[in-house]
Amino acid sequence: MTDTKPTVGWIGAGRMGFQLAKRLLDAGYDVAVYNRTRAKAEPLAESGASIVDRPIDLAGRDIVFSMVSAPRDLEQVMLGENGLLTDPERAPRIIADASTVSVETSETVRAAAEARGVGFLATPVSGNPKVISVGKLTVAASGPREVYDVVHPLLQTWGRGVTYVGDGEAARIVKIAHNVFLGVVIQSMAEITVLAEKAGVKRADFLSFLNDSVMGSVFSRYKSPALVNLDFTPTFTNVLLQKDFDLGLEAAHELGVVMPIASATRNLVAQEVGNGNVDQDFASLILTVARGSGLDIAPENVAVSDGLEER
């Protein structure tokens, strides 16, 4: 660590990782970035990042963040060929992983990190690129408290809230539970919105009422434009949602928790993926609900606030 700010490594420059790495750069941190497809990381060089070709090239950094799509990806970038933890001479002081992965995968990587004397923190997030851009991302973190205290100032650059939830893999369960709820809520929103429309109420009007009621939320407001205007530019796909349902139901099975609503919704999402809906935003579930209800819905083409304001 330097006397001022730690040097930072970043693994994974997808839609989310790119934006989070940029916030660290904008906050004045020295950031080096690895992404499997180098071209996706290269625009960060315009903000001052250095781009590397292998995760192992980040082993000399003080703190290395990772944000990848799936459990196998995390194991690969950490422990696979040229992985971050495979340099016999160097290793970062701390690894903080923001991916949504299983508890088992996180435990595997944590054990490998700690065997090298590297502190490991799970730091999954709630939000998407637009939420990041307006500073409203939230973070759950778990691991050794002394490691969290070091990383906390960097996590604060990502958004509006960081919650330390305990030791070990507690943050993984928090994020998995969060995403299961996300899926259940969007399916429910699709169903009740179609119910109102089939009774003759415009989607924009129904969702305006809902969002102003006690049932309105940041999430219901954020997804309203997609449900009203049927713009399914992806923020989170059904493929990723199915993965998170599977992680949640696996954890529920191991812990003996009954989740019938989550199980039913998972099957609906899996059917959606099986039918080829893999690239659209998960709000597109409303199309299947409408078709199953004998309703031909169309974009209403009206201005609808998503509830997010720049700051």
271-281 confidence digits (pLDDT tens) = 999 999 999 99
Predicted structure pTM score: 0.89
**Same-domain status, 256 and 207:** yes
pLDDT more than 70, % of the chain = 98
Instruction: Give me the mean pLDDT over the 196-217 stretch.
Output: 98
**Same-domain status, 129 and 214:** no
Look at residues 148, 168, 188 and tell me which one is the last residue of a structural domain.
Answer: 168
Residue 209 lies in a domain: yes
How far apart, in whole angstroms, are the C-alpha atoms of residue 19 and residue 24?
A: 9
**Same-domain status, 288 and 236:** yes
Residue 1 lies in a domain: no
**Same-domain status, 100 and 200:** no
- The tally of domains found in the chain comes to 2
What CATH number corresponds to the domain at position 241?
1.10.1040.10
**Same-domain status, 163 and 14:** yes
**Same-domain status, 129 and 184:** no
Residue 34 lies in a domain: yes
Phi, psi of 214 (to 5 degrees): -65, -15
**Same-domain status, 18 and 163:** yes
User: Looking at the predicted structure, is the pLDDT value of residue 3 above 70?
Assistant: no
185, 265 Cβ separation under 8 angstroms:
no
How far apart, in whole angstroms, are the C-alpha atoms of residue 15 and residue 142?
A: 24
Q: Say what the pLDDT of residue 2 is.
A: 46
E strands, the chain, are 8-11, 31-34, 50-51, 63-66, 94-97, 119-122, 125-126, 137-142, 159-166
**Same-domain status, 151 and 203:** no
SS3 for 50?
strand
**Same-domain status, 119 and 268:** no
118, 92 Cβ separation under 8 angstroms:
yes
65, 9 Cβ separation under 8 angstroms:
yes
Dihedral over Cα of 34, 38, 41, 43: its sign: positive
Look at residues 133, 168, 203 and tell me which one is the last residue of a structural domain.
Answer: 168
Residue 264 lies in a domain: yes
User: Looking at the predicted structure, is the pLDDT value of residue 200 above 80?
Assistant: yes
119-137 confidence digits (pLDDT tens) = 999 999 999 888 998 888 9
How far apart, in whole angstroms, are the C-alpha atoms of residue 155 and residue 283?
A: 29
Residue 202 lies in a domain: yes
Dihedral over Cα of 204, 209, 212, 215: its sign: negative
**Same-domain status, 100 and 26:** yes
What CATH number corresponds to the domain at position 93?
3.40.50.720
90, 81 Cβ separation under 8 angstroms:
no
245-271 confidence digits (pLDDT tens) = 999 999 999 999 999 999 999 999 999
How far apart, in whole angstroms, are the C-alpha atoms of residue 151 and residue 170?
A: 17
How far apart, in whole angstroms, are the C-alpha atoms of residue 41 and residue 79?
A: 21
Non-local (6+) Cβ contacts of 73 within 8 A are: 12, 99
**Same-domain status, 39 and 160:** yes
**Same-domain status, 64 and 185:** no
Instruction: Give me the mean pLDDT over the 3-32 stretch.
Output: 94
How far, CA to CA in Å, does 297 sit from each of 74, 225, 260, 281, 287? 40, 14, 29, 17, 8
Residue 309 lies in a domain: no
Domain that residue 97 falls in: 8-168
How many CB atoms neighbour CB 279 within 10 A?
A: 12
289-302 confidence digits (pLDDT tens) = 999 999 999 999 99
- Residues recorded for the chain: 311
